[in-house]
């Protein structure tokens, strides 16, 4: 598996189902994410700074996720990983806003409504399963 295949799959999605757990209670949230080839071992997402999810992220940062293909995407391409470390990012939403606007349709509306309330998190990848779609070679990308 290579970064070119990962980059191709990422162009067909902008959401992940993020699985967390706290006190034996599983939870899944759909969140927008962004990725850049300059930092290929990291996915970025944001959360509202006073959200209850921040407590979960702080107390149990071991998470799993799977991407959700964009509507109409043929072949069901996806990325997924388990035992990913979730950390608060040093980047701000202002840093990442151009990337969000480029890759997440209608993100300007989100930004206009709650932009100042968002904080950035990173999903630090060690291994990422990449499936580019039906009939194509799939595999694990290690960082």
Nearest to 119 by CA among 48, 41, 21: 48
Distance CA 131, CA 36 (A): 18
Enumerate residues 6+ apart whose C-beta is below 8 A from 61. 85, 86, 87
Q: How distant, in Å, are the alpha carbons of 45, 59, 96, 113, 119 from that of 93?
A: 9, 23, 5, 13, 7
- How many CA atoms does the CB half-sphere of 1 hold within 13 Å? 19
Contact 116, 44 (CB under 8 A): no
Tens-place pLDDT, residues 28-52? 999 999 999 999 999 999 999 999 9
- For all residues of the chain together, what is the average pLDDT? 95
- 69 in Cβ contact with 13 (< 8 Å): yes
pLDDT digits (tens, 9 = 90+) for 48-91: 999 999 999 999 999 999 999 998 888 999 999 999 999 999 99
Single pTM value for the model: 0.94
Closest CA to 44 of 121, 97, 140: 121
């Amino acid at each position: 598996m290579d970064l070119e295949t990962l980059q191709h799959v990422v162009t067909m999605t902008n959401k992940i189902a993020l699985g967390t757990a706290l006190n034996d209670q599983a939870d899944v949230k759909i969140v927008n994410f962004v990725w850049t080839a300059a930092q290929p071992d990291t996915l970025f997402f944001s959360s509202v700074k006073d959200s209850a999810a921040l407590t979960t992220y702080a107390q149990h940062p071991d998470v799993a996720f799977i991407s959700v293909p964009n509507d109409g995407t043929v072949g069901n391409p996806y990325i997924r990983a388990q035992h990913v470390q979730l950390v608060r990012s040093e980047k701000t939403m202002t840093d990442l806003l151009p990337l969000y606007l480029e890759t997440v349709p209608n993100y300007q509306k989100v930004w206009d409504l709650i932009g100042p309330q968002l904080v950035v998190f990173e999903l630090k990848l060690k291994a990422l399963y990449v499936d580019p779609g039906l009939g194509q070679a799939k595999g694990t990308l290690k960082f």
